[in-house]
Amino acid sequence: MLAGIIGFVLLVWLVLSVLGQFSFPFFNRAVIQYDRCLIIPKWTFFAPNPGCTDYRLLYRDFDEREHPSVWREICMVRKRAWSDAIWNPDKRSSKALFDLVQSLILVYQEYDSPAVGMTSIPYVTLLHYIDYLPHDRTVKFRQFMLAQTHGIFTKSGPEVLMRSGVHRVCY
């Protein structure tokens, strides 16, 4: 009897989970809005709008004479190891950095105003992160840039999405 009840509950959960993957208005009104514990999953990794670009976060330093260095990329994703499935303490920081980059891109796309972008939380947070990357004493200013690439099989190069102002480095 107990096995039958558990089986029925799991079957209902499976059906609700499958229906939850689609954008049915009636289902959202009848079920999703009451799912306070989030037991009905929503897997949208590949849909409805799959990611087809990679974002790049770069920065460069300026010395006291304001000569810029070459752009250096901040690696947001490192090569994965088998042990990462069990223990991956870097996952949260790399995910946070990636989310900040995406949030800043959305701010610039939505407002189309450098003044709004430079006062947004994602901009200030990225600036703070980049400001505290290791540097030597000759570095006086830093600038960062967000770019996107379209995969390894395209002929087009990186596309610059935004470039920050030049900011004084904190010591």
pLDDT digits (tens, 9 = 90+) for 29-47: 878 778 777 788 777 655 5
CB 55 within 8 A of CB 148: yes
- Within-domain flag for 42: no
Average pLDDT for the chain: 85
pLDDT score of 49:
64
Give the pLDDT confidence of 82-131 residue by residue, as tens digits.
887 788 788 888 888 888 998 998 888 888 788 888 889 999 999 999 99
- Within-domain flag for 140: yes
Distance between first and last Cα of the chain: 68
- The answer, yes or no, to whether residue 146 has pLDDT greater than 70, is yes
Amino acid identity of residue 135, one-letter, is H
Is residue 7 located within the same domain as residue 59?
no
Domain count across the chain: 2
- Within-domain flag for 46: no
pLDDT score of 33:
77
- Within-domain flag for 39: no
- Within-domain flag for 97: yes
Is residue 85 located within the same domain as residue 19?
no
CB 145 within 8 A of CB 71: yes
Is residue 64 located within the same domain as residue 148?
yes
Model pTM score: 0.67
Is residue 64 located within the same domain as residue 138?
yes
Query: How many alpha carbons fall within 13 Å on the CB side of residue 79?
Result: 0
Is residue 17 located within the same domain as residue 58?
no
- Within-domain flag for 103: yes
pLDDT score of 60:
95
What domain range includes position 30? 2-34
